[in-house]
Structure 1
């Protein structure tokens, strides 16, 4: 055999080995992690300055991947470097699921397809409840109270509180986003929503400014959680405001009680505070909670009704009455359990 033929045979031999290794590598990297005994996804935190080997270590540890001759970290790294595209990895927090494979991992981290987190800021909750929720949200940086104070200060001296000024919604964010960013987004979303609703208000709208609309909507939000009742509840308050009748709303009174223990007493109702609508005329000075868009729309477009009273029934809704006599009967039946 000539030297040229020998070289050809050697080259062919190594070519076959190389092709086989590449085929195995492609097969190996394309196998889902479901082949392991772990079915829970991995929340992979990939900090700045870390290497691809860090990703391999974390994924291998979580999914209990073996360390045999044909299945070890060095082989994973070698195949990944050759076939997986491990350059230009982006720091962040990622979710590696059991059905993913190594190609999925490198694509995810290379493209920066980070895990999206979410926080739901519930309608009818107060600012203080929202701040607690934000401080408890995962991977959200910053102190909620400090962020709220900073936002309020940036709005100028005419804004005494953020109560009612933030739109209830589920907000999505990436890891290490700031509380300030969420609050700013919620404020801007409420401003847009409020402007849209205010521009479409009916002639029956009983208030004179968008801020008063927020106040009234927050009361409606606290009075009923039933979508079909909001406009009817709004009509009761509109009717009362039209004749100068006090709103007499328990939720406003409760909002003005410091360290309320859940028991609203007659003494509370007699105490004159800025929020006790049994003792003051008109609206309280600020919203008492974060109103939803639905409550804003109800406040802006109340039903045309003859009602001036309502009381909770035993189904989660309310009974509406035109006269005090009818209302007292409903109270005796549903609140005092007397026919």
Structure 2
């Protein structure tokens, strides 16, 4: 066979092979495209359906001010309200849905995208509030914030430990915070200065704004008492320290006023305040009864081992406890003990009398 003819046959075979390869590639491409199209269609159709038609339990969701559809979708997916942020974003564009309002919303996984859109457009927001109970420590406030707001406890603690934030508050409220700034060995500068109250959260607001609200509330309340604090010859830090102890040691206003006077009586003779509350704070734990070893814990907050007021407050006292410290009930007691069953507080002038009360109402 001539060489030219052999070459022709080889080229023909190569062309057939190439055509087969091209055909196979085209077929693979079509199959992949078809599979991708079907997958995308299923993804698109599924993403438009409620996440869980059987779950009507609402979740509090924050839509920050100025959020785009894409950002709102991400928030909803993160909070497990919808299946896909991508589908939400493009669904809203295709249906010309816009004008969503910032705020806090109660949304459920069984809601359709149209229902969610209608809710966000109507601005059917719920008022998000945070209750800080009387006598809460900063640690407890942080837990309450994490459990009841969009913020984490870590967010809160970062603000509490931010020296620049404290200095800004000090500049704004010098009469309130100067003695706190002057104090040494404090665990937190702002312990005692986050007033117990109900606070309203601002959509899209930052955690430092919430903490600033609490300091502002303390400044507002204590502005009524600065003259009396000065008349007593004590600082705001010292007053709040006694108020924070009184808050936990007594549950009734009458007892708080008597207990506050007991503390003053002890301070007058340089006698340790010996409050269990101080030891619990030093230990950073909750216990029903303290041991002798507990009262020896090495901490400036331990007012069994240290005389005077210590570094500062142990919690955020109520206004009633503040008033008890500033307007105590005159007495000549140096000891008190509460019946752990009834809550009745018994007072004594001597250690022997006190020990008898402890044996009768605590040890038994």
TM-score, with length taken from structure 1: 0.66
Which residue pairs with 1:149 in the alignment?
A: 161
Cα distance in 1 for residues equivalent to 2:118 and 2:147: 31
User: In structure 2, do the counterparts of structure 1 residues 256 and 269 end up closer, same or farther at CA, with 3 Å as the change threshold?
Assistant: same
Query: Given the alignment of the two structures, is residue 330 of structure 1 paired with residue 328 of structure 2, yes or no?
Result: no
Q: How many residues align?
A: 277
Which residue pairs with 1:121 in the alignment?
A: 132
User: In structure 2, do the counterparts of structure 1 residues 263 and 152 end up closer, same or farther at CA, with 3 Å as the change threshold?
Assistant: farther
CA RMSD of aligned residues (A): 4.2
Query: Given the alignment of the two structures, is residue 276 of structure 1 paired with residue 302 of structure 2, yes or no?
Result: yes
Aligned partner of residue 192 in structure 2, secondary structure: coil
Cα distance in 1 for residues equivalent to 2:286 and 2:262: 26
User: How does 1:101-180 map onto structure 2 within 5 Å?
Assistant: 112=123, 114-140=125-151, 143-150=155-162, 151-152=165-166, 154-155=168-169, 158=182, 160=186, 161-180=189-208
Which residue pairs with 1:306 in the alignment?
A: 332
Query: Given the alignment of the two structures, is residue 187 of structure 1 paired with residue 215 of structure 2, yes or no?
Result: yes
- Structure 2 residue ranges without an equivalent (≥5): 1-53, 74-80, 82-91, 109-115, 171-180
Instruction: Between 254-263 and 228-237, report the one with greater CA deviation.
Output: 254-263
User: In structure 2, do the counterparts of structure 1 residues 270 and 92 end up closer, same or farther at CA, with 3 Å as the change threshold?
Assistant: closer
Cα distance in 2 for residues equivalent to 1:267 and 1:259: 14
1:17-43 alpha-carbon deviations (Å, 9 max, x no partner): xxxxxxxxxxxxxxxxxxxx9987686
1:222-248 alpha-carbon deviations (Å, 9 max, x no partner): 212333321111111122222322211
Cα distance in 1 for residues equivalent to 2:332 and 2:239: 21
After TM superposition, give the deviation of residue 89 of structure 1 in Å: 4.1
Which residue pairs with 2:283 in the alignment?
A: 257
Higher helix share: 2
Cα distance in 2 for residues equivalent to 1:43 and 1:148: 25
1:293-327 alpha-carbon deviations (Å, 9 max, x no partner): 11111111111122221101131231122333322
User: In structure 2, do the counterparts of structure 1 residues 289 and 43 end up closer, same or farther at CA, with 3 Å as the change threshold?
Assistant: closer
Instruction: Between 293-302 and 148-157, report the one with greater CA deviation.
Output: 148-157
After TM superposition, give the deviation of residue 277 of structure 1 in Å: 1.9
Cα distance in 2 for residues equivalent to 1:233 and 1:202: 21
Larger radius of gyration: 2
Query: Given the alignment of the two structures, is residue 287 of structure 1 paired with residue 321 of structure 2, yes or no?
Result: no
Q: Is the 8 Å Cα contact of residues 335 and 348 (structure 2) preserved in structure 1?
A: yes
After TM superposition, give the deviation of residue 175 of structure 1 in Å: 4.0
- Structure 1 residue ranges without an equivalent (≥5): 1-36, 55-61, 63-76, 98-104
Cα distance in 2 for residues equivalent to 1:280 and 1:155: 30
User: In structure 2, do the counterparts of structure 1 residues 178 and 328 end up closer, same or farther at CA, with 3 Å as the change threshold?
Assistant: same
User: In structure 2, do the counterparts of structure 1 residues 106 and 209 end up closer, same or farther at CA, with 3 Å as the change threshold?
Assistant: same
User: In structure 2, do the counterparts of structure 1 residues 113 and 301 end up closer, same or farther at CA, with 3 Å as the change threshold?
Assistant: farther
Aligned partner of residue 94 in structure 1, secondary structure: strand
User: How does 1:2-13 map onto structure 2 within 5 Å?
Assistant: none
Select 1:49's aligned residue among 68, 71, 75: 68
Cα distance in 2 for residues equivalent to 1:92 and 1:280: 49
